[in-house]
Amino acid sequence: MMASPLFFPLALVLYFSPLKKQQIIEHISKVSEAAMEKMKGEIVEEERSNCDNEGDGKLKVRILVVDDSLLDRKVVERLLNKSEEGFEVITVDNGKKAMDILGLNEAETEPAAINDQSIDIVLTDYCMPGMTGYDLLKAVKGQSFPKPIPVVVMSSENEPQRISRCRAIGAEDFILKPIQIKDVQRLRNYAKPNASSPIVGSKRKMKPLELATESGGGSEKRPRLAGVVVA
Amino acid sequence: MAAFAQEQLDALVNSMYREGFLDEQFQQIRALDEGGSPDFLVELLGLFCADADRMLNEVTVVLNQPIVDYKKVDAYFHQLKGSSASVGAHSFNLTCMLVRDSCDKNDKEGNIFLMQLLGGIEPGQTEVL
């Protein structure tokens, strides 16, 4: 019984008057309920953050899709979201916005760009007004990100010169539009989320009462029940 | 009743596949619909039709100019070619490629003929309005 976590609360109840006992019991119940609620909240939070990741140990990949065609953006976004490859999709309609998201600024030359939104891979259309996909590719590959960002170019034109031009400056791949399921699987292979990210699926076990251990020295660690007021 | 309508729709779609109007991309788009509801397909087709309508009107204006800017026509049909491929509109896509070939040759008559095929110009019109 000494080892039981309920020993001290029970001892307090046994040694006080009935009225005090009742008050103590009520207080213990409230503390227990509060502790339970807090733990429930923590578990929900943990599960929510785990839901950001795909199951089966996969990590979600943040993909930036750049295409001036709304129709194409919708198709690609839907395909990526519905695939089981675990993508979190961000879409923009021009290269300049893509540069902003990647933390690249054409006006300034910074020694190291900051990928604030943690983009894991860029999928860009080749033909776009203003800044083309090729220009964007060149800009991304010309920067020194802490973690290099793979860039895959897509185009409706199957031009060997265009393809080799993109590969020559570092494009990981060149995909012919319209994009297919098999292309989505290839994209997943190019993107490598941070290896130190937690593996999803672990859950904390709920205990009826959480006890805090006292810090400091001593051969014995005496558990104490937080929040109990003894009259 | 709903089952009968679905059968008719499937028969129509199958015939369009056989005649080359649609290709497997259309099937892929249908597969992206959730829970059997065609909302996504309807949305995409709506976007495509709106885009096609707008661009064909703009091409008509360009073709009406005394000096036709074939690069502009080519740019419009490049976009249309892309969108039609994305929704699986196979024959539309092929026609767009033919228009682009005509643009390479500065072939106004060829462009007008193909625009008629796409419905951008009324058949029988010799002058673009």
Sequence spans of domains, chain A: 10-54, 57-190
> If you ran DSSP here, which 8-state letter would residue B122 be given?
-
Indicate the SS3 state at residue B22. Answer: strand
CB proximity list for A193: less than 8 A, separation 6 or greater: A59, A60, A61, A120
Find the closest chain A residue to B47 by CA distance: A71
The pLDDT value recorded for residue A197 is 41
Taking the domains of chain B in order of start, what are their residue ranges?
2-118
What type of residue is A80?
L
- Which residues of chain A are under the pLDDT cut of 50? 1-3, 9, 13, 48, 51-55, 111-112, 196-231
Q: How far is CA B69 from the centre of its chain?
A: 21
> If you ran DSSP here, which 8-state letter would residue B120 be given?
S
Question: 3-state SS of chain A?
Answer: CCCCCCHHHHHHHHCCCHHHHHHHHHHHHHHHHHHHHHHHHHHHHHHHHHHCCCCCCCCCEEEEEECCCHHHHHHHHHHHHHCCCCEEEEEECCHHHHHHHHCCCCCCCCCCCCCCCCCCEEEEECCCCCCCHHHHHHHHHCCCCCCCCCEEEEECCCCHHHHHHHHHCCCCEEEECCCCHHHHHHHHHHCCCCCCCCCCCCCCCCCCCCCEECCCCCCCCCEECCCCCCC
The pLDDT value recorded for residue A168 is 95
Which of A71, A75, A78 is opposite residue B51, by nearest beta carbon?
A: A71
Fold of B2-118: Four Helix Bundle (Hemerythrin (Met), subunit A) (1.20.120)
Indicate the SS3 state at residue B126. Answer: coil
Higher pLDDT: B121 or B69? It is B69
Least confident of A21-30, B33-42, B77-86: A21-30
Instruction: Provide the b/e sequence for B37-70 (b: ≥16 CB within 10 Å).
Output: eeebbeebbebbeebbeebbeebeebbeeeebeb
Our CA-based measurement puts residue B80 at a distance from the nearest CA of chain A, in whole angstroms, of 10
The pLDDT value recorded for residue A228 is 41
Which of B51, B79, B86 is opposite residue A178, by nearest beta carbon?
A: B86
Strands A212-213 and A223-224: antiparallel
Ramachandran sector of residue A201 (left: φ over 0; alpha: ψ -120 to 50; beta: rest) = left
* Neighboring chain B residues of A79 at a CB cutoff of 8 Å: 28, 32
* Neighboring chain A residues of B40 at a CB cutoff of 8 Å: 74, 78
Find the closest chain B residue to A81 by CA distance: B32
Report the distance separating Cα A164 and Cα A171, nearest Å. 9
* Neighboring chain B residues of A71 at a CB cutoff of 8 Å: 44, 47-48, 51, 83, 86-87
Our CA-based measurement puts residue B16 at a distance from the nearest CA of chain A, in whole angstroms, of 20
The pLDDT value recorded for residue A5 is 53
Do B44 and A180 lie within an 8 Å CB cutoff?
no
pTM for the model: 0.68
> Sorting pLDDT into bands at 50, 70 and 90, what band is B36?
low
Tell me, yes or no, if A67 comes closer than 8 A to chain B by beta carbon. no
Higher pLDDT: A88 or B8? It is A88
Whether the per-residue pLDDT at B98 is higher than 50: the answer is yes
B interface with A, Cβ–Cβ below 8 Å: 25, 28-29, 32, 34, 40, 43-44, 47-48, 51, 78-79, 81-83, 85-87
What type of residue is B28?
Q
Do B83 and A78 lie within an 8 Å CB cutoff?
no
- Please name the CATH architecture into which domain A57-190 falls: 3-Layer(aba) Sandwich (3.40)
Do A69 and B87 lie within an 8 Å CB cutoff?
no
Indicate the SS3 state at residue B33. Answer: coil
Number of H helices and E strands in chain B, helices first, is 6, 0
Report the distance separating Cα A28 and Cα A32, nearest Å. 6
> Sorting pLDDT into bands at 50, 70 and 90, what band is B104?
confident
What type of residue is A152?
V
Strands A173-176 and A151-155: parallel
The pLDDT value recorded for residue A214 is 42
Query: Which two structure tokens, joined as six digits, stand for B66?
Result: 């005394």
Q: For chains A and B, what is the number of CB pairs under 8 angstroms?
A: 43
What are A102-156's pLDDT values in tens digits?
Answer: 988 655 555 445 566 689 999 999 999 999 999 999 999 998 878 889 999 999 9
Do B85 and A71 lie within an 8 Å CB cutoff?
no
Tell me, yes or no, if A118 comes closer than 8 A to chain B by beta carbon. no
